[in-house]
Chains A and B, each alone.
Chain A
Amino acid sequence: MANLNLYIGGTPGGTDGTLIDPAAGIDLSGLYVVGATEYRYIYLPLFIRCNPGFAATSVQLTPLNSMMGFLGQSGSIFTFDSWSSVDNVPSWTLSMLDKTSKFQDPSSPSKDLAKIGNTNIMFFVCAAGTKYTTNILQNALSISYVETAV
């Protein structure tokens, strides 16, 4: 059984959130993403952590959809492991982002994502609302990693 999981609605550094299965799709109901032609890009925070007793290394997140990516720059994605990591970065307090310069290249998986332990690491999925005709974000991403018992 794989012990690295994705959650939505969690807290950076916490152990909360609602478990999601990217293979089944991410439910975006109520997030005003779907159903119009000009929503452009939205930024969805997701959380990743291992079950107790396990850790993951060599974690790579790969977007499977050309209309989405990760918030990041220069071949890496931005991650947050606590509220202070969110609040204490001035240039992140109010950020405006665009696909061409600030999205992770959808064709490249993330590199050197921090070791994942038993508390939430947050990252942002960037998705174009125009792509989707249902409230389920299909084929969002895949996760490659090495799991170890600790």
Chain B
Amino acid sequence: MGLHFYLNGTEGQKDGTLISSGDLTNPIVFDGMYPGSATVKKTVNVAIRADAGEVWRFVNIVLKGTHAHRFTFGGYQRAMGNSAPIALGEGGGLLILKVTDTNKVFQLTAAAAPTDTGSPDTTVKLVSWGWQY
């Protein structure tokens, strides 16, 4: 029972590779980023879906960790049809009002700035919670 994240899933399908939870056996990897004097970004598609037959409502997806501010979500409309791009580090997690056992796909963008240290950072985690109905 629960919600899971998948890499390279297709919207509305049940495909994709399960992202590991806590043991780094299959994490989301943002590699190949080399900031010189400018910040560089890389985006991956991530899907969320519930176990078979489950319906979850009001699902929050948030990032936690020391460098969580280096990540942002995309691929979803803002409220009330505002289509303005989401800026990096803009406050807010992702709110999905209904998640079933087929994929909901969103984009997760990571940024590396010239002043960043400590690469690779493995502290940031993608977390979700909601209510099962």
**Which residues in A have some Cβ–Cβ distance to B below 8 Å?**
9, 11, 30-32, 36-43, 45, 71, 73, 78, 86-87, 91-102, 124, 128-129
Contacts and interface: CB of A to CB of B under 8 A. Distances in A.
Nearest to A102: B79
A38 B68 contact: yes
Contact of A99 (B82, B91, B97): B91
A95 B78 contact: yes
Given A45-B131, A102-B78, A128-B91, A94 B96 contact: yes
Interface of B: 57-58, 60, 62-69, 73-82, 86, 90-98, 104, 106, 124, 127, 129, 131, 133
B42 to A, nearest CB: 19
Nearest to A71: B79
Contact of A9 (B106, B127, B131): B131
B81 to A, nearest CB: 4
B12 to A, nearest CB: 13
A32 B97 contact: no
A124 B74 CA distance: 21
A96 to B, nearest CB: 5
A89 B44 CA distance: 27
Nearest to B96: A94
Contacts of B60: 31-32, 42-43
Given A95-B77, A98-B78, A32 B95 contact: no
B92 A40 contact: yes
Nearest to A78: B79
Residue among A9, A86, A95, A100 with most chain B CB within 10 A: A95
Contact of B69 (A38, A73, A91): A38
A97 B68 contact: no
Contacts of A124: 58, 95
B108 to A, nearest CB: 12
A87 B98 contact: yes
Closest 4 CB pairs of A and B: A38-B68, A94-B76, A36-B64, A91-B81
Contacts of A43: 58, 60, 93, 95
A105 to B, nearest CB: 15
A40 B78 contact: no
A40 B62 contact: yes
Contacts of A37: 66, 68
29 contacts: A30-B129, A31-B129, A32-B64, A32-B127, A36-B65, A38-B65, A38-B67, A38-B124, A39-B63, A39-B64, A39-B93, A40-B68, A40-B93, A41-B93, A42-B60, A43-B93, A45-B57, A71-B79, A78-B79, A93-B98, A95-B77, A95-B97, A96-B73, A96-B86, A96-B92, A96-B94, A98-B78, A98-B92, A128-B91
